[in-house]
């Protein structure tokens, strides 16, 4: 058997990308106030800002787009997607939303109140923000290994059940439900094991708490379970997915990830307890419950995409992509979250810039350096994203300084990855030239999206 795992698709439609010069990039980054979110995408050569909504749709999805039923109420496209979701999740209630954070907002508004506490392995930034804006405390309780980039563990996304139990014992009255994020994006795209999901579900059940999953990357998580949890070595991805969902009482999803679409999301729930409130908020802010802010054609594309995400050869190639870049970084002596996760590689900026103070935001600085060196755009997952400026002007910092390179699905080929590996190695060679930044303007929530910075 040849050892190269090839991209399991061929290209039918191409989109040119554009190289810029270093001096152009210096000018462009300065104009973006040293914040890569503010660059024009056209000025980026390899765009690994996110795997969210950026992937390539298949010819089958494009064909399904033509089947879209744009009726305001009761569209055929809604029922088609509902059938796919009922089969996969086993849950009775479903509403579409325009993306993941809308699902979060709608569900949390229905299920939480001020003073509540929600445990999760790690809350994604929008999940955290949507809870905090309601006055809810979002607690990250990932296992200790999950916060140590260099520690190898097959399921670094697992939640620490001892800590959850302690929370339920001492403050259980304030916990409306328990959450888990598969895969654990903020902690390195790391998977959660079926054993952990089962045990967490059982624990929550003992305390009569519903179990809500954030399932953005459920298919990638299922593939990790198949590869790493011996019990599932012979189980199909579909059956693993079904078992994962069988333990949950509900889920929120950004379909822009494993839904393989450019826009979309949903809420599924097993019981109708929150459904009236969900529908009411949905109608107020998203749209009628059978379209939820989506076009019928996009619901069709999602119905096809959710099935395509379960294909094993696709998932094998998908996970191998991150692993391959990891191997290249390893040989260049660059630290990253190990083992590599499903959708991204997370460079540990502290291994490239060991002497830069966190107050100069090393991961942000590295992100800027990757753009300047090779036109590559990643995203900082460090103290700009998760730090906070306090009233007295001081800051709290995040425990990790990571640069995430997230891979759009079915979009970049191996030579793009080879190029990136060379650029990253080059940046490490010139690390002493990399400058930190200070934030000169910021928003109270999710400041990384819009902050302005200047060089230290």
User: Using the rule CB under 6 A, is 408 a contact of ligand F0G?
Assistant: no
Instruction: Please list every residue from 177 through 216 that binds ligand F0G, using CB under 6 A.
Output: 181, 185, 214, 216
Residue owning tokens 């979701």: 85
Segment contacting ligand F0G by CB under 6 A, of 124-132, 133-141, 326-334, 423-431: 124-132
CA-CA-CA-CA torsion for 414, 418, 424, 430, nearest 10 degrees?
A: -160
How far is CA 86 from its chain centroid?
A: 23
Q: Is 250 in contact with 267 (CB distance < 8 Å)? A: yes
Instruction: Give the DSSP H or E segment for 440.
Output: strand 437-441
Q: Is 437 in contact with 365 (CB distance < 8 Å)? A: yes
User: Site mask, ligand F0G, residues 368-407, x = CB under 6 A?
Assistant: --------------------------------------x-
Q: Is 431 exposed, middle or buried (0-12, 13-18, 19+ CB in 10 A)?
A: middle
Q: Looking at beta carbons, which residue is closest to ligand F0G?
A: 100
Q: What is the DSSP-derived secondary structure letter of residue 431?
A: G
3-state secondary structure (DSSP) of residue 337:
coil
Nearer to ligand F0G, 130 or 290 (CB): 130
Nearer to ligand F0G, 52 or 158 (CB): 52
User: Using the rule CB under 6 A, is 409 a contact of ligand F0G?
Assistant: no
User: Using the rule CB under 6 A, is 54 a contact of ligand F0G?
Assistant: no
User: Using the rule CB under 6 A, is 77 a contact of ligand F0G?
Assistant: no
Alpha-carbon distance of 43 to 27, in angstroms, equals 11
User: Using the rule CB under 6 A, is 127 a contact of ligand F0G?
Assistant: yes
User: Which residue of 124, 177, 336, 412 would you call a contact of ligand F0G, by CB under 6 A?
Assistant: 124
- The contacts of residue 131 (CB under 8 Å, 6+ apart) are 104, 108, 112, 116, 118, 123, 137, 138
User: Using the rule CB under 6 A, is 126 a contact of ligand F0G?
Assistant: yes
Nearer to ligand F0G, 35 or 69 (CB): 35
Segment contacting ligand F0G by CB under 6 A, of 25-33, 82-90, 121-129, 138-146: 121-129
> In degrees rounded to 5, what are phi and psi of residue 193?
-80, 160
User: Using the rule CB under 6 A, is 101 a contact of ligand F0G?
Assistant: yes
Alpha-carbon distance of 119 to 108, in angstroms, equals 13
Q: How far is the CB of 402 from ligand F0G (least distance, A)?
A: 12
Alpha-carbon distance of 182 to 438, in angstroms, equals 33
Number of CB atoms found within 10 A of residue 329's CB: 24
Nearer to ligand F0G, 127 or 290 (CB): 127
Segment contacting ligand F0G by CB under 6 A, of 80-88, 94-102, 280-288, 309-317: 94-102
Alpha-carbon distance of 282 to 18, in angstroms, equals 40
Q: How far is the CB of 124 from ligand F0G (least distance, A)?
A: 3
User: Using the rule CB under 6 A, is 351 a contact of ligand F0G?
Assistant: no
3-state secondary structure (DSSP) of residue 350:
helix
Nearer to ligand F0G, 50 or 77 (CB): 50
Residue whose C-alpha is closest to residue 197's, from 132, 265, 246? 246
Residue 24's alpha-carbon distances to 30, 49, 171, in angstroms, are 10, 20, 55
Q: How many residues bind ligand F0G (CB under 6 A)?
A: 16
| Residue 412 in tokens | 């970049």
Q: How far is the CB of 97 from ligand F0G (least distance, A)?
A: 9
Alpha helix segments (H runs only) across 265-399: 275-285, 296-308, 312-331, 349-352, 362-374, 383-386
Nearer to ligand F0G, 49 or 334 (CB): 49
User: Using the rule CB under 6 A, is 130 a contact of ligand F0G?
Assistant: no
User: Which residue of 178, 265, 287, 387 would you call a contact of ligand F0G, by CB under 6 A?
Assistant: 265
The two beta strands, 46-47 and 376-377, are parallel
User: Using the rule CB under 6 A, is 128 a contact of ligand F0G?
Assistant: no
User: Which residue of 35, 58, 61, 99 would you call a contact of ligand F0G, by CB under 6 A?
Assistant: 99
Work out whether the CA dihedral 74, 76, 82, 83 comes out positive or negative. positive
Nearer to ligand F0G, 181 or 351 (CB): 181
Segment contacting ligand F0G by CB under 6 A, of 87-95, 120-128, 273-281, 308-316: 120-128
User: Which residue of 35, 50, 120, 281 would you call a contact of ligand F0G, by CB under 6 A?
Assistant: 50
Segment contacting ligand F0G by CB under 6 A, of 26-34, 123-131, 148-156, 229-237: 123-131
User: Using the rule CB under 6 A, is 254 a contact of ligand F0G?
Assistant: yes
Q: How far is the CB of 126 from ligand F0G (least distance, A)?
A: 5
Residues forming the site for ligand F0G (CB under 6 A): 50, 52, 99-101, 124, 126-127, 181, 185, 214, 216, 254, 256, 265, 406
């Amino acid at each position: 058997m040849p050892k190269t795992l090839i991209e399991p698709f061929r290209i039918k439609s191409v989109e040119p990308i554009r190289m810029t010069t270093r001096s152009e990039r210096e000018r462009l980054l300065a104009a973006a106030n040293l914040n890569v979110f503010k660059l024009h995408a056209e000025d980026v050569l390899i765009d690994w800002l996110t795997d969210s909504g950026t992937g390539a749709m298949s010819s089958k999805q494009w064909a399904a787009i033509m089947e879209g039923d744009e009726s305001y109420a009761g569209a055929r496209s809604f029922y088609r997607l509902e059938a796919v979701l009922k089969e996969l999740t086993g849950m009775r209630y479903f509403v579409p939303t325009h993306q993941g954070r809308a699902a979060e907002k709608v569900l949390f508004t229905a299920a939480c109140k001020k003073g509540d506490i929600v445990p999760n392995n790690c809350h994604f930034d929008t999940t955290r923000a949507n809870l905090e804006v309601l006055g809810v405390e979002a607690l990250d309780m990932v296992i200790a290994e999950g916060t140590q980039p260099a520690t190898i563990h097959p399921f670094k996304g697992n939640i620490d059940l001892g800590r959850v139990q302690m929370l339920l014992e001492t403050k259980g009255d304030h916990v409306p439900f328990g959450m888990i994020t598969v895969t654990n994006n903020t902690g390195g795209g790391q998977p959660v094991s079926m054993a952990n999901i089962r045990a967490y579900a059982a624990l929550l059940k003992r305390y009569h708490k519903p179990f809500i999953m954030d399932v953005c990357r459920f298919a990638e998580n299922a593939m990790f379970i198949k590869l790493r949890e011996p019990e599932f070595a012979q189980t199909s991805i579909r059956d693993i997915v079904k078992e994962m969902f069988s333990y949950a009482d509900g889920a929120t999803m950004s379909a822009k990830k494993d839904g393989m679409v450019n826009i979309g999301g949903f809420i599924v729930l097993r019981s109708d307890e929150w459904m009236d409130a969900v529908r009411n908020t949905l109608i107020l802010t998203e749209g009628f419950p059978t379209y939820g802010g989506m076009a019928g054609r996009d619901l069709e594309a999602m119905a096809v995409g959710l099935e395509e995400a379960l294909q094993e050869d696709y998932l094998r190639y998908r996970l191998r992509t991150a692993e391959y870049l990891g191997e290249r970084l390893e040989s260049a002596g660059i630290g990253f979250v190990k083992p590599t996760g499903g959708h991204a590689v997370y460079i540990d900026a502290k291994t490239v810039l060991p002497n830069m103070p966190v107050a100069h935001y090393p991961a942000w600085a590295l992100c800027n350096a990757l753009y300047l060196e090779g036109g590559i755009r990643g995203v900082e997952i460090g103290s700009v994203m998760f730090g906070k400026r306090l009233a007295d002007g001081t800051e709290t910092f995040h425990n990790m300084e990571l640069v995430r390179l997230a891979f759009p699905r079915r979009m970049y080929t191996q030579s793009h990855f080879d190029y990136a590996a060379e650029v990253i190695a080059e940046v490490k060679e010139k690390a002493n030239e990399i400058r930190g930044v200070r934030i000169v303007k910021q928003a109270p929530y999710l400041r990384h999206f819009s902050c302005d910075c200047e060089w230290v």
